[in-house]
Structure 1
Amino acid sequence: MTKFDKYLLSQLLTLFGFFSLVLVAVYWINRAVGLFDQLIGDGQSALVFLQFSLLTLPNVIRLVLPVSAFVAAVYCANRLISDSELVVMQATGFSSFRLARPVFGFGVIVAGMMLILMNWLVPASRTVFEERSAEISQDLSAQFLKEGAFLHPSAGLTLYIRDISARGELLDLFLTDERSKTERTTYTARRALFLRASEGPKLLMFNGMMQTLDTKTGRLSVTHFSDFTYDMAAMIAPAQSRNRSRAELSTRELLYPTPAVLQETQSSAAALRFEGHSRFAQPLLALSSAMIGFASLLLGAFSRFGLWRQILAATVLLLVVQSISTVATSIGGTSEDGWILAYAAPMLGLLLAGGELWVSQAPRRLRRLGGAA
């Protein structure tokens, strides 16, 4: 690498790191707010919220990196043109393609980051996220042991706890069991403890009363107790085997789906194959985004009014490429050969960038032809 390549690459990486940090923070905080309301509202601790927030981070970074690469390329090119640095390099004989060489290298670095994220980090984090979500859904103490509220853990059960002491004791408990068609049982206790046993969660009540009403005869029987154990397994829905989503599958499973994987995801082989190729196409989209941003600004010369036209053109081209990617995603999984469409948007982006670089050299070629004539 020449000094110019190292200089431009260092500028691009510095700006890329800055914009990535800002965009990831904004996007992550926006998602974390909704996650905070959901988890804390369900009685989860701040540690659980932190775990879930970190598990969503790889996917957030995956979404942000192409945009950061584009913004870094546009900002860097705009600054170099404003400072006449690129003009000087062009005067020494550097072609537009030669100027874009470090930008291409920068795009390859970003694409490498995307490959690691999409093929390893995002599927792994998604799997852990779903597993932790399933565990929390089975966490009875976090969901139902809340003070000062009438809760309905399942059909026919009503639970109320006046207060929960610092030692974890449930004070002034009220529990109604109406699941039976022939009787209704109400439990009250001065205090209770929630116990986790090998055969399931138990509720140990002290100094209480059990009232059983026979709904057919209307007879009410009352039993006082000093301690009583109630099986709370009915409050928890039985754990079911969890099927993985497409985002959790490995790239190999997506590219070569087995009948078991097709049944697990309830998807077609074409849809899974398209998803697998998308994990290689999306990194190329980050490369094309950087190239479009840099090449578009080379179309303009230094101006006191700035390069806002070229920046607008680069943004429009990027939106066009993203639109094609969206359309390809919607129709690519409907046919056996639809996986080819996964590469349509990044290839178009690279062709557009190459065309812009070629056009940016047109005035210089015309001047040479005019001089030769």
Structure 2
Amino acid sequence: MRPDRFNLVAGSGSSARSGWKDCLPLFRQGMVPLLAILGGLAGVAILTQGLNQLDLIVDQRQSALAFIWVTLLSMPQLISLIMPLAVFFAVTYAVNRMHTESEIAVAFAAGVSPWQIVSPILKLASVAALAHLAVNVLIQPASYREMRETVHAMRSDFAASLVRAGEFTTPADGLTFYAREVGAGGVLRDLFIDDRRNTNRPTTYTARFGLIRKTPAGIPAVVMQQGQIQQPKPDGSVDLLDFDQYTLELGAFVSAEDDYVLKPSDRFLAELFFPDLIYYYDQRNADRFLAEGHHRLSSPLLDPALALIALAGLLAGDFSRRGYGQRIAVAAAAALTVRIFALGIQAACVDEPALNPLQYVFPLAVSVVAFWMLQAPRKPAQGPAAAGLTMAR
């Protein structure tokens, strides 16, 4: 006889092993939609994130491959953000599908215990939580650090910001730059530079070839070949100087890009929990680092919590012949509320570090409540499924 309560006590002996074999497809039925939903949500998030990096192509003239690489490096944090909801929707899809096809009713009629239905789902949520933890602790900080370095290098690419083939650019006050063509290796052809820093004595440089390099002191400079320098004189004449090679340093009037700092998302756990307080940035953001560190460790607990919410919504309470749309809507609202509330707790912990234990207590409390709801009494099914259950009894 099928138990009337979800007491979550597994069967024993060969019947338990047989039930597990029967319910093993449930793990696969949950894993496939989990990967699909996770991929879909990550794709949408990546497209949104990619819009923030379009200036790498528009302003910094980086290649599409560089843009794609930077966007992919942001993916681990996006996966961490959406993983709990992906688990919820995957479990909801798998269990509702089994309800729709009467597989759960048939399984109960065959003597499968409630635990044998719930167990594969909890195993799936546990696998997701472990993957989530690995992303938070190892993959995200490594990828974000690489992304930060890559973006910084792109934005610090002086040649990319200075030169646009066939266009006049003004990268700094008093400087106009033009190159007809940018060839292989960054070689500039038909170069024109107008330097009007000194309005009383403007200088114009022209050259057949040029190359942007940094001096040994790290100052950006233009190395010009086969060119001419023109300087107007007060009497209206022009001083002309031909040269085979001339180096024009640009650092005096072009500000260098400041070094970047590692944000909380870029740091590993040790750097979050034990920041180097000799730096002002670390001193000012110590509480933020602490909240981020606890969030990295606690957020995977949301995966089984939201899986239990989905199970409670679809397996607890009475059987329904009219579908479970209303229950799914309520469970989805609850799952979304839990996810938002968890993010709110993390934000509150930045201002009040004493609240950090709530980042662990909250998902555990949600799991306990959903676990308790899962044990709610169920009324016998009505209709064809009920007939099967009655015959089994």
TM-score tier, shorter chain, comes to 0.7 to 0.9
Judge conservation of contact 2:166–2:179 (CA < 8 Å) in 1. Answer: yes
Judge conservation of contact 1:151–1:159 (CA < 8 Å) in 2. Answer: yes
Counterpart in the other structure of 1:368: none
2:183, 2:290 → 1: CA distance?
A: 55
The 3 A distance-change label for structure 1 pair 106 and 151 is: same
Correspondence 1:136 to 2:154 = yes
Counterpart in the other structure of 1:369: none
Judge conservation of contact 2:276–2:282 (CA < 8 Å) in 1. Answer: no
| Cα drift, residue 145 of structure 1 | 1.5
Counterpart in the other structure of 1:115: 133
The 3 A distance-change label for structure 1 pair 363 and 171 is: same
Q: 1:210 aligns with which of 229, 251, 259?
A: 229
1:232, 1:43 → 2: CA distance?
A: 23
Counterpart in the other structure of 1:60: 78
Q: Which of structures 1 and 2 has the larger relative contact order (alpha carbons within 8 angstroms, sep 6+)?
A: 2
Judge conservation of contact 1:187–1:210 (CA < 8 Å) in 2. Answer: yes
2:112, 2:183 → 1: CA distance?
A: 75
| Cα drift, residue 142 of structure 1 | 1.9
Judge conservation of contact 1:204–1:227 (CA < 8 Å) in 2. Answer: no
Please report the RMSD computed on the Cα atoms of aligned residues, expressed in angstroms: 2.8
1:193, 1:175 → 2: CA distance?
A: 11
Corresponding residue SS for 1:175: strand
Counterpart in the other structure of 1:74: 92
Counterpart in the other structure of 1:340: 357
Correspondence 1:196 to 2:213 = yes
Structure 1 residue identity aligned to 2:374: L
Counterpart in the other structure of 2:341: 324
Corresponding residue SS for 2:122: helix
Corresponding residue SS for 1:152: strand
Correspondence 1:354 to 2:371 = yes
Q: Deviations over 1:43-95 (max 9, x none)?
A: 11233223213212222322232222111100001011112222233345555
Corresponding residue SS for 1:179: coil
Judge conservation of contact 1:211–1:220 (CA < 8 Å) in 2. Answer: no
Structure 1 residue identity aligned to 2:344: V
1:293, 1:220 → 2: CA distance?
A: 85
1:22, 1:327 → 2: CA distance?
A: 25
2:124, 2:262 → 1: CA distance?
A: 35
Q: Deviations over 1:269-327 (max 9, x none)?
A: 33322211101111111221122112211136554532101110111111221231132
Judge conservation of contact 2:177–2:193 (CA < 8 Å) in 1. Answer: yes
Alignment of 1:31-46 (within 5 A): 31-32=49-50, 34-36=52-54, 38-46=56-64
Judge conservation of contact 2:165–2:182 (CA < 8 Å) in 1. Answer: yes
Q: 2:301 aligns with which of 273, 281, 284?
A: 284
**Which ranges of structure 1 fall in alignment gaps of 5 or more residues?**
365-373
Judge conservation of contact 1:24–1:61 (CA < 8 Å) in 2. Answer: yes
Corresponding residue SS for 1:223: strand
Alignment of 1:8-23 (within 5 A): 8-23=26-41
| Cα drift, residue 260 of structure 1 | 3.3
Counterpart in the other structure of 1:222: 239
1:24, 1:327 → 2: CA distance?
A: 22
2:323, 2:135 → 1: CA distance?
A: 36
Counterpart in the other structure of 1:273: 290
1:270, 1:135 → 2: CA distance?
A: 29
Q: 1:243 aligns with which of 245, 261, 274?
A: 261
Aligned length: 359
| Cα drift, residue 144 of structure 1 | 1.7
Judge conservation of contact 2:305–2:367 (CA < 8 Å) in 1. Answer: yes
The 3 A distance-change label for structure 1 pair 237 and 302 is: same
Question: How does the TM-score come out when normalised to structure 2?
Answer: 0.81
Correspondence 1:315 to 2:332 = yes
2:257, 2:132 → 1: CA distance?
A: 35
The 3 A distance-change label for structure 1 pair 91 and 303 is: same
**Range 191-200 or range 349-358, more displaced:** 191-200
Corresponding residue SS for 1:227: strand
**Aligned residues: percent identity?**
27
Corresponding residue SS for 1:230: strand
1:246, 1:33 → 2: CA distance?
A: 22
Judge conservation of contact 1:270–1:339 (CA < 8 Å) in 2. Answer: no
Judge conservation of contact 1:96–1:358 (CA < 8 Å) in 2. Answer: no
